[in-house]
Amino acid sequence: VSLRTKSAGRGTVKPHSGFNANNDAEVLYKAMKGLGTDEDAILQLLTARSNAQRQEIKAAYKTLHGKDLVDDLMSELGGKFESLIVTLMTPPIMYEVTCLRDAIKGAGTDEKVLVEILASRSPNEVNQIKSLYKREHNDDLEEDVTGDTGGHFKRMLVVLLQASRQQGIQEDLIQSDAQALFVAGEQKYGTDEGQFITILGNRSNAHLRRVFEEYRRLSGYEIEESIQRETSGTLQEVLLAVVKCARSVPGYFADSLYGAMKGAGTDDQTLIRIMVSRSEVDMLDIRAEFRKRFATSLHKMIQGDTSGDYRKALLLLCGGDDA
């Protein structure tokens, strides 16, 4: 519970007050029984329950019917809608472990997923992810990550995996951190990536925000501009993600959601991953940031970019429009 206190009540999905796991299990059973499936009943119910409540429904369903709810859902549903519903049914830390495992063990490495999870989660969450990864897969997450990545990108991920970001603001380091970043990048022929990794990977978000201000005073540049000039590829991607998260985690997710939907085609994996994993954490803040940054609302963009039951469920997770 302590995990969520920081952004308490900033999610769109809340625990259902008159919750009864057996009743809900029956509603789902009826929705899938016989010919055809009542997708609407399934999505209306599951988006209106917290993840913890969904786990209780799953247990009740097995007790009442001797069947696994997720297996039944998977055999009745299909496509992106199925992926979304299965994601809703997965406990949060377990879901992140599965995402990381797939990112590493799939064909090629899905760097985007490694970056998103390791840059945006708190040290507490990263530690929970590491221990569940070990329990589930009998492998060490850090070893798997380092076996699958290289260079400075790998070093930055290893730093983030240590989950030992400092707390608070260290007044005496603000000036020297900004100076060190300036000297390591803009003032140097070539780039000392190690400095960026150490400072961006270890200081608290509140501290980094002060360093970025100081950096701008010192250099005349936003830190993002310098990172874009001085680094490239996956290292640039992870450093920019860390900077965005230091400035605003909901802002980082707003940018990622926009990126997943803008232009032709939709990155549904990213859309599902963020909409579900942030629905009980900070979706209200993500919506506000989205509206501030872009010429449209998150709700309108999802509406224009998706269709069918998939769209209906995503809009319920979004929870409303922002004029």
Domain residue spans of the chain: 21-89, 92-162, 171-247, 249-318
Between CA 59 and CA 322 the distance in angstroms is 37
Domain 249-318 has CATH 3.40.190.10: no
Residues of the chain with pLDDT under 50: 1-7
Look at the domain 171-247 and name its fold.
Annexin V; domain 1 (1.10.220)
Look at the domain 92-162 and name its fold.
Annexin V; domain 1 (1.10.220)
Domain made up of 21-89: CATH architecture: Orthogonal Bundle (1.10)
pLDDT for 169-181, tens place per residue? Answer: 999 999 999 999 9
What pLDDT is recorded for position 107? 81
Output helix, strand, coil percentages for the chain, rounded to the nearest 5. Answer: 70, 0, 30
Residue (of 130, 211, 200) closest to 159 by Cα position: 200
pLDDT for 117-164, tens place per residue? Answer: 999 999 999 999 999 999 999 999 999 999 999 999 999 999 999 999
Same fold for the pair 171-247 and 249-318: yes
